[in-house]
């Protein structure tokens, strides 16, 4: 009986630990590009995408067709192409276990764009408004760093981009504009000043000092000042 409880407890603990471990892995963190040549050459025009984002066959197809790379020529000397291709294919999405990127990717499909992966679409299509992609600060869906500030280190976690990226509070132009209003907008400052203004203070004072006004105010609200007073007086 005792050994059974112990083994069950150990099994449960192991499961919890495994769950926690996978949680740390499956949070939106991917191994960063560790090969210097890949990072340099593939980072010339866009952030060097982590190889864990596409299956090996996709990387092979991309590296074999660099002279027609999504509408531009990205050709390289053959030895560099081989080196980079080897690195990408060795660290591809289907070389890792349980990769979320491979969800919904059928074996007969060779996705070329990370942004057409079902998992990518699921993560972005609901949360990111369509106007974001057209905004000049973002430019394109391939511009990960516009919102995921530490994307080049492999970290794409929600907390990180929500508060730091373009659509986070600190970056949002609309929010900045509203903040500026507090500092710059004379009209707003004027309205604020009214709280300090004599006339307003006078009106407020009336509220506190003028019994008749108070009485009227209470009646307008449906309360009977006189009746209220009766509740307050302890002597009656």
| Residues of the shown chain interacting with another protein in the complex, contacts defined by CB under 8 A | 45-47, 67-68, 71-76, 138-140, 142-143, 146
Q: Are 55 and 107 in contact (CB under 8 A)?
A: no
Q: Are 67 and 75 in contact (CB under 8 A)?
A: yes
Q: Which residues contact 132 (CB under 8 A, 6 or more apart)?
A: 138, 147, 166, 167
Report the interhelical angle of 56-64 vs 78-90 (nearest 10°): 170
Phi, psi at residue 9, to the nearest 5°? -60, -40
The smaller minimum CB distance to another protein, of residues 66 and 215, is found at 66
Within 13 Å and on the Cβ side, how many CA atoms surround 43?
17
Question: How far from 158 is each of 44, 85, 167, CA to CA, in Å?
Answer: 27, 31, 12
The smaller minimum CB distance to another protein, of residues 71 and 222, is found at 71
Compute the least distance from the CB of residue 36 to another protein, in Å.
Answer: 15
The smaller minimum CB distance to another protein, of residues 133 and 225, is found at 133
Compute the least distance from the CB of residue 45 to another protein, in Å.
Answer: 4
Compute the least distance from the CB of residue 121 to another protein, in Å.
Answer: 18
The smaller minimum CB distance to another protein, of residues 102 and 138, is found at 138
The smaller minimum CB distance to another protein, of residues 68 and 116, is found at 68
Chain-centroid distance, C-alpha 28: 11
Compute the least distance from the CB of residue 71 to another protein, in Å.
Answer: 4
Compute the least distance from the CB of residue 110 to another protein, in Å.
Answer: 21
């Amino acid at each position: 009986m005792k050994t059974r409880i112990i083994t069950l407890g150990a099994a449960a603990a192991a499961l919890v630990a495994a769950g926690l471990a996978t949680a740390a892995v499956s949070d939106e963190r991917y191994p960063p590009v560790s090969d210097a040549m890949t990072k340099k050459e593939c980072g010339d025009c866009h952030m060097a995408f982590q190889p864990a984002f596409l299956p090996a066959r996709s990387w092979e197809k991309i590296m074999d067709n660099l002279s027609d790379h999504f509408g531009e020529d990205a050709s390289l000397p053959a030895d560099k192409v081989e080196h980079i291709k080897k690195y990408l294919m060795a660290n591809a999405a289907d070389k890792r276990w349980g990769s979320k990127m491979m969800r919904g990717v059928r074996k007969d499909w060779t996705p070329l764009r990370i942004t057409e992966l079902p998992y990518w679409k699921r993560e972005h299509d609901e949360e990111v408004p369509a106007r974001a992609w057209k905004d000049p600060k973002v430019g394109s869906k391939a511009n990960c760093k516009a919102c995921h500030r530490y994307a080049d280190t492999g970290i794409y976690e929600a907390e990180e981009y929500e508060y730091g990226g373009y659509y986070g509070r600190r970056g949002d132009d609309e929010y900045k504009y509203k903040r500026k209003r507090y500092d710059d907008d004379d009209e707003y400052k004027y309205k604020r000043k009214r709280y300090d203004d004599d006339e307003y203070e006078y009106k407020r004072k009336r509220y506190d000092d003028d019994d008749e006004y108070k009485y009227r105010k209470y009646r307008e609200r449906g309360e009977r000042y006189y009746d209220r007073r009766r509740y307050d007086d302890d002597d009656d």
